[in-house]
């Protein structure tokens, strides 16, 4: 079975890493890794290939940064040529980025089967580019790997046939389980940042809805500066966020008040999550990673796709608005007693996915 896996942005490297490993374990498969080049800085891309033992991409389209239209169009042109040349049995796409969208459209137009890992998630906010990407990817995919029963129910409610949906669990849970021990053993990130376990907040944010809106950006920056009066705030800075803070003349204050660092590799970020007093983020990945390692997470969004975690009390939404209200929510001293839940499988999602792909698209 020949599989073309398409990745391009940071969270996809983590997801594709565990699926690649599972495909190798299943055997009889040949995976061609295609990188769109959506993310290109070393610490946004190459570092993950090294750490996660990802197959070196056979192709890198080098699309880089551009408007959504230009970025997606360049991917469509490049991917079509590759798919025609490779003639895979199935194209695998991950998550909700522009790379997911382009690969799903390109493959389906060539009548190649598409499998979507992390299907059925919805924020119900169509102003987010990721929501459009999810809706389109799910619509044109042949096989939908849902990370939870909740995601499966959503797909069925939209009219996707049961035969196309498989609840695999979440590949990010697999990735966390695999890397957690390594993070504990080898990461010296706390030493580098001169912070102590349980004594710091870990913050990340990069979503367009937060960086491109000056009022939301300012509210988040002020909230983090307030938190820093209570405990150090570590902020690995996504390039989009750095540019936005600079644009709005906030970067200097943020760098003076917070522990700002470059984007971190997977093992270091996992280590920081594990030992944080709390995580404050708009990232879909960190919301779950905090839950996987039992750390409280405040979500800088108006809504989230990972609703189970909010309902069970693990995560709390902190919509960017008034900085005082946001800070009060995060520092709220009432006892935290989340309900134990296990919505994302048993840590074997990637094996389930690899077997399902082989069963359905393997030739023997
Ligand atoms: C993308 C995804 C988002 C995902 C995130 C993870 C879309 C629409 N969004 O958002 O779902 O959560 O990746 O990081 O696909 N840049 C660099 N170096 C890089 C990468 C980006 O400097 O290696 C800068 C560029 O200025 C670029 C900006 O970051 O314009 C944004 O990058 P882009 O790929 O558009 O989206 P992300 O915000 O990273």
What tens digit of pLDDT does each residue of 109-165 get?
A: 999 999 999 999 999 999 999 999 999 999 999 999 999 999 999 999 999 999 999
45 CA to centre of ligand 1 in angstroms: 11
Q: Which atom of ligand 1 is nearest to the CA of 243?
A: 26
Query: What pLDDT is stored for residue 363 in this prediction?
Result: 78
The atom of ligand 1 lying closest to the CA of 133 is 8
CA of 66 to the centre of ligand 1 (A): 10
Ligand 1 atom at shortest distance from the alpha carbon of 38: 34
- pLDDT over threshold 70, residue 33: yes
Q: Taking residues 48-56, what's their average pLDDT?
A: 92
Nearest CA to ligand 1 atom 35: 65
Give residue 323's pLDDT: 98
Q: What is the mean pLDDT of residues 23-30?
A: 96
pLDDT at position 315, please?
A: 98
pLDDT score, position 364: 59
State the pLDDT at residue 228.
98
Residue nearest to atom 27 of ligand 1 (CA): 65
Q: What is the pLDDT of residue 333?
A: 84
Q: State if residue 98 touches ligand 1 by the CB under 6 angstroms criterion.
A: yes
Q: Mean pLDDT in the chain?
A: 97
Rg of the chain on CA atoms, in Å: 20
Question: Which residue is associated with the tokens 């391009």?
Answer: 8
The pLDDT of residue 53:
86
**Mean per-residue pLDDT for 213-234?**
98
Residue 35 is a catalytic residue? no
User: What share of the chain in percent tops pLDDT 70?
Assistant: 100
Cα 240 to middle of ligand 1, angstroms? 7
Mean pLDDT of 306-330: 98
pLDDT at 299 over 80: yes
Pocket test for ligand 1, best of 11, 37, 38, 306 (most atoms within 8 A of CB): 38
Instruction: Give the global pTM.
Output: 0.96
The answer to whether the CB of 182 is under 6 A from ligand 1 is no
């Amino acid at each position: 079975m020949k599989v073309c896996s398409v990745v391009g942005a940071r969270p996809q490297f983590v997801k594709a890493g565990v699926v690649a490993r599972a495909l190798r374990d299943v055997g009889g498969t040949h995976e061609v890794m295609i990188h769109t080049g959506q993310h290109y800085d070393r610490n946004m891309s190459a570092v993950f290939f090294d750490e996660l033992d990802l197959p070196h991409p056979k192709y890198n389209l080098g699309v880089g940064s551009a408007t959504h239209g230009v970025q997606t169009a360049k991917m469509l042109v490049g991917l079509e040529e590759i798919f025609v040349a490779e003639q895979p049995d199935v194209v695998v796409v991950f998550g909700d980025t522009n790379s997911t969208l382009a690969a799903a459209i390109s493959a389906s137009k060539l009548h190649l089967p598409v499998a979507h890992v992390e299907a059925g998630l919805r924020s119900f906010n169509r102003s987010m580019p990721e929501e459009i990407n999810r809706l389109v990817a799910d619509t044109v995919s042949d096989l939908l790997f849902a990370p939870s029963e909740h995601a499966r129910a959503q797909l069925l409610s939209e009219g996707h046939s049961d035969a196309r949906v498989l609840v695999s669990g979440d590949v990010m849970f697999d990735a966390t389980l695999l890397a957690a021990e390594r993070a504990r053993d080898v990461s010296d990130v706390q030493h580098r940042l001169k912070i102590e376990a349980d004594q710091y907040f870990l913050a990340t944010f990069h979503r367009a809805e937060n960086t491109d809106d000056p009022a939301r950006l300012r509210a988040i920056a002020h909230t983090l500066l307030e938190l820093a009066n209570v405990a150090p705030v570590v902020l690995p800075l996504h390039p989009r966020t750095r540019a936005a803070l600079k644009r709005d003349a906030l970067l200097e204050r943020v760098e003076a008040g917070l522990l700002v660092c470059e984007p971190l590799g997977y093992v270091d970020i996992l280590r920081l999550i594990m030992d944080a007093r709390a995580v404050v983020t708009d990232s879909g990945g960190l919301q779950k990673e905090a839950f996987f390692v039992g750390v409280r997470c405040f979500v800088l969004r108006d809504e989230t796709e990972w609703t189970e975690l909010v309902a069970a009390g693990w995560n709390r939404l902190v919509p960017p608005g008034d900085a005082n209200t946001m800070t009060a929510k995060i520092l709220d001293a009432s006892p935290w007693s989340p309900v134990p839940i296990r919505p994302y499988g048993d840590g074997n999602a990637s094996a389930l996915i690899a077997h399902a792909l082989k069963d359905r698209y393997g030739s023997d």
